[in-house]
């Protein structure tokens, strides 16, 4: 969003800082089971590298994906929010999601 500041007769628009991400979420869902996810982790963004390592540990199929984890960490540290990674493992019937908000 832009905030408008009026100086004399000229309006100047200043960018407003967007809120930074605060929480990393990792969810592993087994599509064969109804109800709650198999794994549902929420952690402060300050320990994001640890959280991404957990995502790989709980979902070994993520190791086989062509994912640039360093770039993901960089994007998170810059304050981006939303879905970062979604992996559907059809063989195991599982979905892994990693996002920040």
For residue 4, tell me if it sits in a domain.
Answer: no
For residue 80, tell me if it sits in a domain.
Answer: yes
Q: 37-53 burial, b for 16+ CB within 10 Å, e for fewer?
A: bebeeeeebeebeebbe
For residue 6, tell me if it sits in a domain.
Answer: no
Give dist(CA 87, CA 97) in Å, integer. Answer: 7
For 8-63, what is each residue's pLDDT tens digit?
555 555 666 666 768 888 888 888 887 767 888 898 877 877 766 776 677 666 66
Please tell me what DSSP assigns to residue 20.
P
For residue 10, tell me if it sits in a domain.
Answer: no
For residue 1, tell me if it sits in a domain.
Answer: no
- Is pTM beyond 0.95? Reply is no
Please tell me what DSSP assigns to residue 22.
-
For residue 59, tell me if it sits in a domain.
Answer: yes
Give the contacts of 30 (CB within 8 A, at least 6 positions apart): 37, 38, 93, 94
Per the structure, how many domains does the chain have?
Answer: 1
For residue 37, tell me if it sits in a domain.
Answer: yes
């Amino acid at each position: 969003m832009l905030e408008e500041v009026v100086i004399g007769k000229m309006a100047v628009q200043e960018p407003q800082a967007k809120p930074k991400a605060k929480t990393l979420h990792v969810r592993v869902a087994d599509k064969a089971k109804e109800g709650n996810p198999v794994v549902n982790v929420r952690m402060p963004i300050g320990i994001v590298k640890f959280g991404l390592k957990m995502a790989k540990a709980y979902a070994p199929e993520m190791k086989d994906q062509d994912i640039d984890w360093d770039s993901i960490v960089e994007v998170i540290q810059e304050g981006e929010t939303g879905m970062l990674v979604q992996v559907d493992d059809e063989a195991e019937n599982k979905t892994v999601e990693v996002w920040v908000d």
